[in-house]
């Protein structure tokens, strides 16, 4: 698993603690990363209607209260392209008994794991993250 999920939570938590819109550079400084990564993740979060940015107003802000943003929604946005918490290797040997069945079997198992992860993450909000500080 990469760090995009935890960085996205960092971004949202930072935005929740700020009263005014926040620039990608300000966020990058908090993460100790670069603004390009921040803009990429903010694109996912904006497309998922979790954050907002407006023309003429520099920066990002939450689209709804931190108490209404659950970590399950963030997880699903970040991993939408991979569809699982872990990638399944492809192009296995169809002549091999294991190679023939492993992808489909792991896909089923990983679906169950993802569902469990999402259900648990849905019990946490960005506000709850802040309250743990």
Give me the mean pLDDT over the 88-103 stretch. Answer: 91
Which tops the pLDDT comparison, 11 or 91? 11
Q: What is the pLDDT of residue 89?
A: 82
Q: What is the pLDDT of residue 56?
A: 63
Structural domains in the chain, CATH included, are 4-131 (1.10.10.10)
DSSP of 74-128, one letter per residue?
A: HHHHHTTTT-SSSPPP----TTSHHHHHHHHHHHHHHHHHHHHHHHHHTT-BHHH
Whether the predicted pLDDT of 21 surpasses 90: yes
pTM for the whole thing? 0.86
Q: What is the pLDDT of residue 79?
A: 82
Give me the mean pLDDT over the 99-110 stretch. Answer: 92
Neighbours of 120 (CB within 10 A): 12
């Amino acid at each position: 698993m990469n760090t995009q999920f935890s960085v996205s939570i960092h971004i949202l938590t930072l935005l929740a603690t700020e009263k005014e819109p926040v620039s990608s550079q300000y966020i990058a400084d908090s993460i100790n990363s670069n603004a390009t990564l921040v803009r990429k993740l903010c694109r996912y979060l904006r497309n998922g209607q979790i954050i907002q940015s407006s023309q003429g107003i520099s920066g990002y802000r939450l689209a709804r209260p931190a108490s209404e943003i659950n970590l399950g929604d963030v997880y699903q946005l970040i991993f939408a392209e991979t569809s699982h918490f872990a990638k399944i290797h492809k192009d296995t040997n169809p002549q091999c008994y294991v190679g023939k069945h492993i992808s489909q079997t792991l896909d089923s198992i990983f679906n169950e794991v993802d569902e469990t992860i999402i259900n648990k993450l849905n019990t946490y909000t960005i506000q709850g993250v802040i309250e743990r500080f």
